[in-house]
Homo-oligomer: A and B are copies of this chain.
Amino acid sequence: MSEPARLQRVPGDPTPGDPPAYDLIELFFFAYRDFVGDPDRILADYGFGRAHHRVLHFVDRQSGLTIAELLDILKITKQSLNRVLKELIEKGFVEVRTGTQDRRQRLLFTTAQGHELALRLARLQTRRIERALENGAPELREAAGRFLLAMIDPAERGEVMEILSGRTKEAAQ
């Protein structure tokens, strides 16, 4: 509205002339809502919310990770994390052990109960994913993964790919 028209497009430009990708924008919104909605119903039975789910998920996936590592993954403040983490510990879903090489660190683990819940929620989400892929070509799964990865900030991608490898951090204990 206020910017002068340009005749050439510089690569990496805002490209205000392109029509917005309304379809993908809206699909992403609705799909994500349903995707996180599945676990919500189960979590409510335990008095947990989405924040608990995220913590439980990454603790289960990266057994033995520290508070600092978890904060880095979730990108929330330690005060926010502490509120939900405390509840997960009190209710016996997460366990804390003092680090051995560095005794200032707290290493986080899921308990048997915590692991079961994390797995149950992951399977629920997996079921939705499998149903989404079952009528597609076999390449659809790989395409979905490549698209989602490419949607992530380039600067974060390295870290995300490390997380995806799901390496446990138990070496510390």
Contacts and interface: CB of A to CB of B under 8 A. Distances in A.
A153 B31 CA distance: 8
B145 A143 contact: no
A27 B129 contact: no
Nearest to A143: B143
Where chain A touches its partner, the secondary structure class is helix
A166 B22 CA distance: 8
B143 A31 contact: no
Query: What number of copies of this chain does the assembly contain?
Result: 2
A163 B128 CA distance: 22
A30 B142 CA distance: 17
A122 B152 CA distance: 17
A92 to B, nearest CB: 15
A21 B153 contact: no
Contacts of A151: 31, 34-35, 128-129, 132
B22 A32 contact: no
Interface in A139-161: 139-141, 143-153, 156, 160
A171 interface: no
Contact of A31 (B14, B61, B115, B148): B148
